[in-house]
Structure 1
């Protein structure tokens, strides 16, 4: 029986296949790109040093090259985040996931947070920018405010987590984020999205992208349960 809401293609194109483990070898990165192409996911999300390598492998496919900036703690100087963004775009990245300055957010330095995100958006030169809020460290009120700052700064997405904090994507947070931005801004879940049912529940809550490393298992399960 087909899924009542989603096709295999729609689910696959929700996934940013994560290649961010610090100990990943180039062979593992290459294998990850091959999985991404086999399942025709939205993108790979790789380490900045692997962008050119992944872009070469994925050239000619329908899989985008994504990477991270200020990762995983968001503590780099704004100028460093801007430089890093320009470098990864030059190397072939078309999607940038940048970590918000969490300490500034906790300090109520909202103008600085917004201005930094806007600087990264400008440096991305029209490529997609997803801002990682790292919800594990924020109150519900701070999540709402951070979402509003991201939209004001011109970001394309707000994202739950890096996957390297104490907690990752939580359905309640996803729902709150979706309610805190307009339709111009999308929501990405990441961190602990390990099952098909979890991924589908996030999609139901309005998520357009989800970071995942268990891509093959989830999409194979979708085919088993709902067909291709």
Structure 2
């Protein structure tokens, strides 16, 4: 299975340099990833580097904690689109959610969605900070706000995605919103597990390549031969030892 198209290739570290963005976009082009997710200041550069490709440029706004004023998020989102962003990613206001101020949570998301129109909106709910019921409530709010993707994690909190959380999100939103499992997923097998559990995309800063099945089979064969030779050597040595003791 070619997993490259399922990867939302992410580079949002606060120390990210222009040179790193260039390398990041080159890697995304080489491997055919779904999108690159970057801080909004680098959208013009990424858009230039990804010209003539189908790879999306996703800009983060109000990142990574989601506490920016809604008007500031709206401005940052529209500005990112003006300079070339294909998608917008925002973080839910966890303080409002924890306060059960659900109206403000909805308003915050909906105003950004309304401002960007048909541009896809990804909302990170930061599952490591939420109880099961809070995850469900956050998903219900995202349904009401008509967002396009729910993302599990920013990578800046206590931990990242879990299979359990992805299944809870999937059960709540069904097929009405797509799911991005993100943070702590950096190998082929893990990506497959998350896709099988209901994730549509996997957010990772590691550009995981498709496993080479031929190479895997060859390595397994070599390893088996090594074990067989080792066992044969041990058996020969044991046999010689027994004969010596009999003498």
TM-score normalised by length of structure 1: 0.91
Q: CA deviation at 1:125?
A: 2.1
Alignment of 1:40-119 (within 5 A): 40-119=32-111
Equivalent residue, structure 2, for 1:176 = 168
Who wins on radius of gyration, i.e. which is larger? 2
Equivalence map 1:1-228=2 (5 Å): 7-8=1-2, 11-215=3-207, 218-221=208-211, 224-225=215-216
Specify which structure has the bigger relative contact order, considering alpha-carbon pairs within 8 angstroms and separated by 6 or more residues: 1
- Structure 1, unaligned stretches of length 5 or more? 1-6
The farther-off stretch of 143-152 and 123-132 is: 123-132
Q: Tell me, what secondary structure is at the counterpart of 2:203?
A: strand
2-structure distance, mates of 1:52, 1:92: 6
Larger helix fraction of residues: 2
Q: Tell me, yes or no, if the aligned pair for 1:17 and 1:213 is still in contact at 8 Å.
A: yes
Residue 220 of structure 1 and its aligned partner are, at CA, apart by 4.3
Give the superposition deviation at 1:209: 1.1
Contact 2:4 2:210 survives alignment (8 Å): no
Distance 1:108 1:46, change over 3 A: same
Name the CA shift for 1:28/1:86 in 2 (closer, same or farther; >3 Å): same
Give the aligned partner of residue 221 of structure 2: none
Q: Normalization by structure 2: what TM-score? A: 0.84
Q: Deviations over 1:30-52 (max 9, x none)?
A: 01000000001100001111011
The number of aligned residues is 216
Query: Structure 2 regions of 5+ residues with no counterpart?
Result: 218-247
SS at match of 1:203: helix
How far is the alpha carbon of 1:225 from its aligned partner? 4.9
- For the residue of structure 1 that corresponds to 2:209, the secondary structure is helix
- 1:71 is paired with a residue whose SS is coil
Aligned CA-pair RMSD: 1.3
CA distance in 2, matches of 1:198, 1:158: 19
CA 1:222–1:153 in 2, change beyond 3 Å: closer, same or farther? farther
Shift of 1:182: 3.1
Return the alpha-carbon distance in structure 2 between the equivalents of residues 184 and 194 of structure 1.
27
CA contact (8 A) 2:74 2:112 kept: yes
Does the aligned pair in 1 maintain the 2:91–2:124 contact within 8 Å?
Answer: yes
